């Protein structure tokens, strides 16, 4: 049995729905990844790369093709984000949390509308996806959130929260129950991340060193 066959092989069943090893490992690595991001720990990036590869296998099997393709983009963004956190600050220093500028918000909003419309059309015309709009929308929001996370933008957590609120019922609808539960965990961690990053950002602004 190949590694791919082993990963998509059922580990157990939730009711009558089989749950693959990829989904189990995706659950574990996903939870660890977000927890590390909340703590701003650099190890979140290699763990995240493993997680998106596993999720890609899950989404192909579940017919969520935009989300599956998104994982390829995520690998690139994970590597870029890893570099940004280490050297993206002034003078190639470690990057600190900061706010999203108005220009960045406008650019992300325009790009998001265009990308969602284009992906919805592509999924409707060229795949057998049963949820083309929702697949496209979550893909677009997740890309914007990943960009923000890579740049340590505080508001990236709001984008992750919005995406998770859609992902939870979407994955349940596609019978990916363990992944749906994982995104409930993600939602809680995203709220914790928003609070932690905001506290760190505010503390740095009011400290004598930052003044």
**pTM for the whole structure:** 0.80
Q: What value does the mean pLDDT take over residues 92-108? A: 91
Q: Tell which residue, 176, 166, 196, has the closest CA to residue 41.
A: 196
In tens, the pLDDT along 164-188 reads: 999 999 989 888 887 788 889 889 9
pLDDT of 194 higher than 90: yes
Tell me if 59 sits within 8 A of 139, measured CB to CB: no
In tens, the pLDDT along 30-73 reads: 889 989 999 999 999 999 999 888 888 877 777 777 778 778 88
Q: Tell which residue, 117, 112, 19, 131, has the closest CA to residue 67.
A: 131
């Amino acid at each position: 049995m190949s590694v791919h066959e082993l990963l998509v092989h059922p580990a157990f069943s939730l009711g009558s729905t089989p749950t693959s090893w990829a989904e189990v490992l995706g659950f574990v690595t996903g939870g660890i990844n977000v927890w590390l991001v909340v703590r701003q720990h650099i190890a979140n990036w290699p763990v995240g790369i493993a997680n998106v590869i596993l999720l890609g296998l899950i989404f192909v099997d579940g017919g969520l093709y935009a989300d599956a393709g998104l994982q390829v983009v995520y690998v690139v963004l994970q590597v870029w984000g890893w570099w940004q956190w280490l050297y993206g600050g002034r003078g190639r220093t470690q990057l600190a949390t900061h706010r999203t500028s108005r220009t960045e918000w406008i650019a992300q909003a325009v790009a998001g509308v265009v990308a969602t419309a284009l992906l919805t059309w592509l999924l409707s015309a060229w795949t057998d996806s049963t949820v083309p709009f929702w697949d496209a929308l979550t893909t677009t929001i997740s890309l914007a959130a990943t960009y923000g996370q890579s740049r340590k933008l505080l508001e990236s957590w709001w984008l992750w929260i919005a995406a998770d609120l859609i992902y939870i019922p979407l994955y349940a609808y596609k019978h990916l129950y363990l992944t749906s539960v994982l995104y409930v965990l993600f939602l809680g961690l995203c709220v914790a991340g928003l609070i932690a990053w905001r506290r760190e950002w505010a503390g740095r602004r009011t400290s004598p060193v930052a003044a």
